Amino acid sequence: MTRPNIQISPIGSVRSRQGSFSLQIDETYRPGLKQLEHYSHVHVLWWADQSDTPEARSTMTCYPPYAQDVLTGIFACRSEYRPNPILMTTCTLLDVDESCGVVQVAWIDAFDGTAILDLKPFMPVSDRPQEVRMPDWLSHWPEWIPTGYWSPESA
């Protein structure tokens, strides 16, 4: 089976300055922001460019920072080590300015200038399964992000 050649172009970039976090969307893609302000959260898919090395792309196991005594495969963790360094953060939406292409979020774990690949609204029917199974080594984690955990005040 022949795999297609995949091309990805950024739609904007992360702006992270002094506890303020926003997504600057390029003019071409700004009409895609229409109605986004009606959601509480957005999934931001971004390119981990500062981890994009041949070594990181070929790393298949790691000790995640949140479970440093557990060796996992990279597909069993949220590590920046990926064959394709595509990462995702679910962000609380604070404001959407479609005309300027600025999406204010409470927090994002991407560096200033990081390329944004896509935005998708958080929708419970698609993004929150009724029954979830987690490994024992993450049993101490809460079931959801605590209110205010990733807020401008906690940054």
pLDDT tens, position by position, 58-70: 999 999 888 889 9
What is the distance of C-alpha 154 from the center of its chain?
A: 18
- Tell me if 154 is assigned to some domain: no
Q: What is the pLDDT of residues 89-99, one digit of tens each?
A: 999 999 999 99
Extended beta strands in the chain, E state: 12-17, 20-25, 41-47, 61-62, 72-73, 86-97, 102-105, 115-121
For the whole prediction, is pTM greater than 0.75? yes
Give residue 105's domain range: 12-122+132-144
- The DSSP letter of residue 132 is -
| CATH, residue 32 | 2.40.30.70
pLDDT of 149 higher than 60? no
**What does the pLDDT look like over 1-40, one tens digit per residue?**
889 999 999 999 999 999 899 999 999 999 999 999 999 9
How many CB atoms neighbour CB 115 within 10 A?
17
Q: Considering the domain boundaries, does residue 127 fall inside one?
A: no
Report the C-alpha gap between 68 and 48 in whole angstroms.
21
Q: How many domains does the chain have?
A: 1
Confidence tier at 154 by pLDDT (50, 70, 90): very low
Tell me the residue type at 18: Q
Q: What is the pLDDT of residues 107-124, one digit of tens each?
A: 999 999 999 999 999 998
Is 155 within a domain? no
What pLDDT is recorded for position 150? 54
